Amino acid sequence: SLVIRGEKDEQAVLCSKDKTYDMKIADTSNMLLFIPGCKTPEELNADQASCDIIHSQVAGFSNNYWELRRCRPKLKKLRKLLMEDPYEGPDSRKDQTLTFSKYTTEDLLSLIQASEEEILHQLHVIDACKIEGYWRVLEFDYEMKLLNHVTQLIDSESWSLSKVPLRTCLEELGSLEPREMIEHILLSYGRKYIDDGEVYFEMHEDKICRAIAQMLLQNAVKFNLSEFQEVWQQSVPEGMTARLDQLKGLALVDKTSRPETIFLLKVEDLPEDNQERFNSLFSIREKWTEVDITPYIQDLCAEKQTVGALLTKYARSSMQNGVKVYNSRRPIS
Amino acid sequence: LIRSEGAGGLAQWVLVELQGEVVPRQSGALAGSLLGDLHYTCEGVPVLIVGHHILYGKVVQLEKPFAVLVKQGAGEPGPAGPHTHYTVTALIKTKLLFKTRPKPIITNVPKKV
């Protein structure tokens, strides 16, 4: 079955179980009559027997119809809603009885313009978890606190990063944090598997390094690149390598400043609409190379659309010092 | 095209597209009235007789088929009421397009004087 979703100030979309479509009403000056069971010439030819009159009814008629076009699910609102009240841990001094900013799956289905599967998938992508029936995202500092407990334990136990035992984590850390939270952080930053009946996690090096970079970068407008890289490598767990390519869509390096600098720029903070996204990117930086801009427009690609196609449509290219760069098609104020 | 979970095929309907409007003969309602007769010639050309007019059309396979949706559970809007959704009850892949001018059927041609 299909559902139409959208609030009064939003453009309606039609959702199946797993896809989302933009809806437009199309008018025709012609009249469209729909006839159930009406036979086409081919069907009648096959049925040689009858020369009788078949009584058919016109089920209805219309001057307009809905035209659907598959579109990207509108999921930015999901993160926005869940960030209204991020979970700060059981010791948080926030008033836990205020529930108006909390959302169940049902709530999200009626507020988010996307299909159920797309919503559930996105909840998984943003590492949301269900606490007391409500979907929550962790407040970043709390998330880092949990991650830190785990990485310190890995270090003190000298475990391999690809074989972190769930049971021991729960035993050792269960007195510090709720068990569900310990398991949640392991699921968010690792891949769960079972070996010989025991549950283990293979930790995601890239994701952990990236989170630590975010923690460092969010405290200042920008950083000296080489200083940042040094501090960052010292901050990541033993055995992990911090690399700039882990920061795609999270931070941007300014190679034109002397010395080179790096600053936080999260793709999820940018507008969802294509034109607005490009306007925003070009107001941050006038000219972009394809390598630099790709992580910030990748999510705009429709089914079977490439980054190149997007750039052709929304940007203008030119050569700068032998390198192809992209800038806005129109002046940005 | 949106697939329905129903077992067996969906009903197949046909669309008839007419230029202009259909108006009831007397000022009655359209519902329950006879629209006309639909015939196919030996070559498969659809012919529609409406009142004393005859229209010739053609069978067109739709590039983008239509799905017929029926609204379900139209309760009070809001979180408390049942959520409205639509089920696909039929597909339309073919239309009979009548866009030529209707020709009046004259049965009595006066002889030349």
Tens digits of per-residue pLDDT, A243-280? 999 999 999 999 989 999 999 999 999 999 999 999 99
Predicted confidence band at B6 (pLDDT cuts at 50, 70, 90)? very low
- At residue A66, the 3 state secondary structure works out as strand
Residue B2 has pLDDT above 50, yes or no: no
Closest-CA residue of B relative to A36 is B13
Inter-chain contacts counted by CB atoms under 8 A, chains A and B: 83
Per residue in A11-21, pLDDT tens? 889 999 999 99
pLDDT of residue A220: 87
- Report the C-alpha gap between B94 and B9 in whole angstroms: 16
Kindly state whether residue B109 falls inside one of the protein's structural domains.
no
pLDDT of residue A38: 78
Q: What percent of chain B has pLDDT above 70?
A: 68
How would you list the strands of the sheet with B46-50, edge to edge?
B37-40, B46-50, B53-56, B103-104
Burial of A25 (0-12, 13-18, 19+ CB in 10 A): exposed
> Can you give the residue ranges of every domain in chain A?
140-203, 270-332
Per residue in B91-104, pLDDT tens? 889 889 988 877 88
- At residue B78, the 3 state secondary structure works out as coil
Q: Is the pTM of this model over 0.80?
A: yes
- Report the C-alpha gap between A208 and A218 in whole angstroms: 16
Closest-CA residue of A relative to B59 is A40
pLDDT of residue A82: 95
pLDDT of residue A95: 64
Q: Per the CB < 8 Å rule, is A4 touching B84?
A: yes
Residue B33 has pLDDT above 70, yes or no: yes
Domain total of chain B:
1
Domain span at residue B13 reads 2-23+34-74+85-103
Closest-CA residue of A relative to B5 is A1
Closest-CA residue of B relative to A28 is B19
Q: What is the CATH number of the domain that holds B16?
A: 2.60.40
pLDDT of residue A204: 96
Residue B53 has pLDDT above 80, yes or no: yes
Kindly state whether residue B80 falls inside one of the protein's structural domains.
no
* Residue A242 near residue A213, CB atoms below 8 Å: yes
Q: Per the CB < 8 Å rule, is B40 touching A3?
A: no
Is the dihedral angle over the CA atoms B76, B78, B79, B80 positive or is it negative?
negative
Predicted confidence band at B1 (pLDDT cuts at 50, 70, 90)? very low
Better-scored residue on pLDDT, A331 or B80: A331
Q: Per the CB < 8 Å rule, is A30 touching B68?
A: no
Kindly state whether residue B111 falls inside one of the protein's structural domains.
no
Instruction: Give me the residues of chain A with pLDDT under 50, please.
Output: none
Q: Per the CB < 8 Å rule, is A106 touching B14?
A: no
CATH topology for the A270-332 domain: Arc Repressor Mutant, subunit A (1.10.10)
Taking contacts as CB-CB distances below 8 angstroms, the residues of chain A near B88 are 1-2
In DSSP terms, A252 is beta-bridged to A263
User: Which DSSP string corresponds to A239-269?
Assistant: T----GGGGTTTEEEESSSSS-EEEE--GGG
Q: Per the CB < 8 Å rule, is B17 touching A59?
A: no
Closest CA relative to residue A325, chosen from A271, A281, A269: A281
